[in-house]
Amino acid sequence: MAQGSQSAPAPVPLIDLVAQYQTIENEIQDAVQSVFANQSFVLGDLVTEFEQDIAKYCDNRHAIGCASGTDALILALMALDIGPGDEVITSPFTFFATASSIHRVGATPVFVDIEPDGFNLDPTKVEAAITKRTKAIMPVHLFGQTAEMDPLWRLAVEHKLAIVEDAAQAIGAAYRGRRTGVLGTVACFSFFPTKNLGGAGDGGMVTTDDADLAKRLRSLRVHGDVGRYEHIEVGLNSRLDALQAAVLQVKLRHLDDWSDSRRANAERYEKLFAQYGLTDIATLPPTLPDRTHVYNQYVLRVPGDGRRDALLSSLREQEIGAAIYYPKALHQQTCFASLGYQLGDFPEAEKACREVLALPIFAELTNEQQDRVVEGIANACGRLGSNTIRRAA
């Protein structure tokens, strides 16, 4: 290195699973080795213990492990007897599995636009979408913050509908003091590695207070078997591996501390944006009334034609992690063209797709890394023709 030269700053990842693993490596290794020692890899006592831990964490009576968050949604719909001819109301601004699970059981996803602040289903628009074919409402607790549940509960009771929580990104999030998992008829979680509670691969969980639903879910996840190769219906092969349960059981003990760290990082972002005097580039994510946010993602809104994409390009050039969740709404996806939706049908969802940008928020994010993220945004502002970021009201 030439005298007087300075090394380039280290890249900042969008998420750093290695940093998390290093804090719990010994616990994970001990848990995994115990599974290899007893050679029980599929379901079994360890999975049952983890299911009980999740049920206690969510304040549920029943938790049923399965192979993925997508399977959790499919199994929940199957257990509710939702299928061909039925409709399920949900959001067009979410991960693909939300709508694909509805399609997979033969039902029709009916999209309703989102509210702009929390990116979740707009409850004021749901009632107009209810028909005689509607069997359920599937709110998505997107990015770690719950949907506005009270009006959805009232609609569900009035129209005798089930509520299926898509809580894939929101384990530990709360609405009026109650955690996701007990905010509907049934709730579905994902343990994909990048989730706040992430496994060493795929995994999922369904929670419910309904004993009959729980019994059916346990059968459906093993091909509809009720014991001794007696199959009363055709189910799935969707079981949670013991190795995943071992890893997740360790991580669950740390989950609340990690959520606290994510919230602290969000608060520090607000202070840094103010400190740098950045006021007109983006809107920061608010915590809405009656919610406890767990920040699976920290998502800005960057208004203005092309400005979000220019900011993303600049951050990538500076080796600062950022990503777009989600660049295309589900009603615009080719595979759902037969539903007949058109561009402009859901303006808030479509606007979000043009404006959203996720920044690093993982629990192990250092102050130095966070400083670099905001400095990178400030640096990019010159290219965007502005030098400010506005905090959400």
Whole-angstrom distance, CA of residue 53 vs CA of residue 246? 12
Of 198, 222, 252, the residue that ends a domain is 252
Same domain, 263 and 177: no
Q: Which of 235, 192, 190 is nearest to 215 (CA)?
A: 235
Model pLDDT, residue 1: 41
Q: How long, in residues, is the chain?
A: 393
Model pLDDT, residue 281: 84
Whole-angstrom distance, CA of residue 138 vs CA of residue 191? 19
Is 38 a member of any domain? yes
Model pLDDT, residue 265: 98
The two tokens of residue 267 are 């608060």
Residue range of the domain that includes 180: 18-252
Q: How many domains does the chain have?
A: 2
pLDDT in tens, 1-19: 444 456 778 999 999 999 9
Model pLDDT, residue 7: 74
CATH number at residue 327: 3.90.1150.10
Same domain, 234 and 296: no
Whole-angstrom distance, CA of residue 185 vs CA of residue 136? 10
CB 202 within 8 A of CB 191: yes
Model pLDDT, residue 79: 98
Tell me phi and psi for residue 190, to 5 degrees.
-115, 140
Whole-angstrom distance, CA of residue 346 vs CA of residue 112? 7
Model pLDDT, residue 129: 98
Is 11 a member of any domain? no
Q: Where are the beta strands (DSSP E) in the chain?
A: 62-66, 87-90, 108-111, 134-138, 162-166, 174-175, 178-179, 186-190, 204-208, 291-292, 298-301, 356-359
Model pLDDT, residue 67: 97
Is 27 a member of any domain? yes
pLDDT in tens, 207-262: 999 999 999 999 999 999 988 888 999 999 999 999 999 999 999 999 999 999 99
Same domain, 315 and 168: no
The two tokens of residue 334 are 């080719």
Same domain, 191 and 266: no
CATH number at residue 172: 3.40.640.10
Of 200, 228, 252, the residue that ends a domain is 252
Is 179 a member of any domain? yes
Same domain, 136 and 188: yes
Q: Describe the crossing of helices 367-384 and 255-275 by its angle, rounded to 10 degrees.
A: 40
Instruction: Kindly give the parts of the chain with pLDDT less than 50.
Output: 1-4, 383-393
DSSP SS3 for 199:
coil
Is 365 a member of any domain? yes
Is 12 a member of any domain? no
374-379: long-range contacts, CB 8 A cutoff, minimum separation 24: 374/269, 374/272, 374/273, 374/276, 374/278, 375/276, 376/12, 376/314, 376/315, 376/318, 376/320, 377/276, 377/278, 377/281, 377/311, 377/315, 378/276, 378/278, 379/314, 379/318
Tell me phi and psi for residue 191, to 5 degrees.
-115, 30
